[in-house]
Amino acid sequence: MGYRNTLPVIIVRTAILIPTFILGCLCIVFTQWVSLILFRNSPSTTNSIIGTTKTHFVILLGLLTSIVNPCKIAVTVDVDSVPHSQQFKVDSSLNLHTFLDPNSVIISNHQIYTDWLFLWFLTYTSNLSNAVFIILKDLSKIPVLGYGMTNFNFLFLSRKWAKDKIVLTNQLLEIDANARGLGPANGVQLVSSKSTSADIDIKKWPTGKNPRKDQKLWPYELILFPEGTVPSDRTTKKSAEYVLSKGYPPLKHVLLPRVRGLFLALKKLRNSVEEVYDITTAYSDLKADEYGEIKFSLKNFYLRGYGPPVINYFIRAYKIKDIPLGDEDEDDIDETSDESLQKFEKWLLKIWYEKDELMNNFYETGEWNANAYDTRTVIGDFKLKNKWEIVRPYLPISTLALFLYFTYRFVIVLIKSRLGSA
């Protein structure tokens, strides 16, 4: 046990970081709230500010996480499939720089509850943290954070497919329309709203791409976990039983992925998405027979200071044209032909079994041993590019506070001067 994990350090660290985090979240939400009021008639400005607050949040949580659990990020890329792989680098200060394409979907196996943060941080190293959207369970009811993430337009799941497919469809179509410059972020109006068999409206946006150069295109990085949850005794057993019932080979280290959510996402984004990044995630100091949700639980991670020393990524990329999505353009994903869905499932399962083999190699040797790939590895620190970036989340409300203070002082001086002259 290091000094970071001793009780006095835990108490002092927690007493400082929790108020810092809460205040930062309040500042971010305040910035969002003000922008939604002041720029309600300027959707482009509002969308830009909301994107900025996304970066503010990953800066805030990223810095606090790096203080609690300083670690490294080791990124191994498949040179043949990942565009710009030679531009993945580490500078002299050990800052990681990546080059992810905009308008991309990031899929990964799920290990611990903070997976989404580390992947979001990965987009930060590509200067795309303001364009992130995450599909995750419904967090909208959490005080402050829920309001902020709702404004981020994160895609919340209720775990009820009949409802989720409609909510996801509309949000994905909006993200796609904005990426083409023909969505609500540019003030574009809906073409129509078509009811499905369940009498729920599906929003329709203009097709094509906005030819006007004065209209901004809004890129995105969509992060989702096809497994839907982290490995545990219950989920691993349930996955193994389903694998057995389907007659598939057993999976050792990953859960069987769910097909429909990713299929829906790629179908609705197919007019704008450029790449699908498949990221295999493994954490150093986590053994094959251990569950990350237990060893690196939120309590152990943020209170006790026990986290992985290295976050290991193996990245492959797939062009959207090479992914079997079928030719149908259904409003209801459940109307997709069985043949199209089976082809996509076969494609996804191939990736997941290869991922399972990569994980097996990592657990046995501590390395990916991906001999079938031409790879390149860079290792940097999990940290901000500049420590002074931490002032950014607090800057808008600090500026307002100073403005109000000096206005107050000016008014007081003015009143005194008039009383004195009287």
Residue 317 to residue 326: CA distance in whole angstroms: 20
The angle that helices 7-38 and 395-421 make with each other, rounded to 10 degrees, is: 70
Q: What is the mean pLDDT of residues 332-338?
A: 80
Q: Which two tokens stand for residue 202?
A: 């599906």
Does residue 184 have a pLDDT over 90? yes
pLDDT-based confidence at residue 401 (cuts at 50, 70, 90): confident
User: H or E segment at 96?
Assistant: strand 96-97
| C-alpha distance from residue 196 to each of 49, 203, 335 (Å) | 34, 11, 11
Q: Which is it for the CA torsion 174, 180, 185, 191, positive or negative?
A: negative
Contact 309, 284 (CB under 8 A): yes
Q: Is 3 helix (H, G, I), strand (E, B) or coil?
A: helix
Answer whether residue 198 shows pLDDT above 60. no
At 219 the pLDDT is 96
Question: Dihedral sign, CA of 334, 335, 338, 344?
Answer: negative
Q: How many residues does the chain have?
A: 422
pLDDT, one tens digit per residue, over 369-390 is: 888 899 999 999 999 999 899 9
* pLDDT digit string, tens, across residues 203-237: 889 888 876 766 789 999 999 999 999 999 999 99
pLDDT in tens, 288-311: 999 999 999 999 999 999 999 999
Mean pLDDT over residues 180-196, rounded?
Answer: 80
- Compute the distance between CA of residue 286 and CA of residue 309 in angstroms, rounded to an integer: 10
| Whole-number percent of the chain with pLDDT over 90 | 74
- So what's the pLDDT on residue 376? 95
Crossing angle of helices 43-68 and 115-124, in 10° steps, is: 120
Domains of the chain: 70-385 (3.40.1130)
Tell me how far apart the terminal alpha carbons of the chain are, to the nearest angstrom: 72
- Condensed to tens digits (0 to 9), the pLDDT of residues 149-180 reads 999 999 998 878 888 889 899 999 999 999 99
The pLDDT of residue 195 is 52
Residue whose entry in the numeric block shows the structure tokens 């203080």 = 67
CB crowding 212-237: b at 16 or more within 10 Å, else e: eeebebbbbbbbbbbbbbbbeeebbe
- Taking 90 as the threshold, does the pLDDT of residue 140 lie above it? no
Contact 382, 125 (CB under 8 A): no
Residue 129: what residue type? S
For range 12-20, the mean pLDDT: 93
Question: Which has more pLDDT, 36 or 330?
Answer: 36
**pLDDT tens-place string over residues 44-102:** 999 999 999 999 999 999 999 999 999 999 999 999 999 999 999 999 999 999 999 99
Question: What's the one-letter identity of residue 418?
Answer: R
Q: Is the pLDDT of residue 269 over 80?
A: yes
Q: Which two tokens stand for residue 88?
A: 């993945």
> For residue 194, what pLDDT is reported?
58
Determine the pLDDT at residue 333: 77
Share of the chain above pLDDT 70, in %: 95
Please state whether the predicted TM-score (pTM) of the whole model is above 0.85.
yes
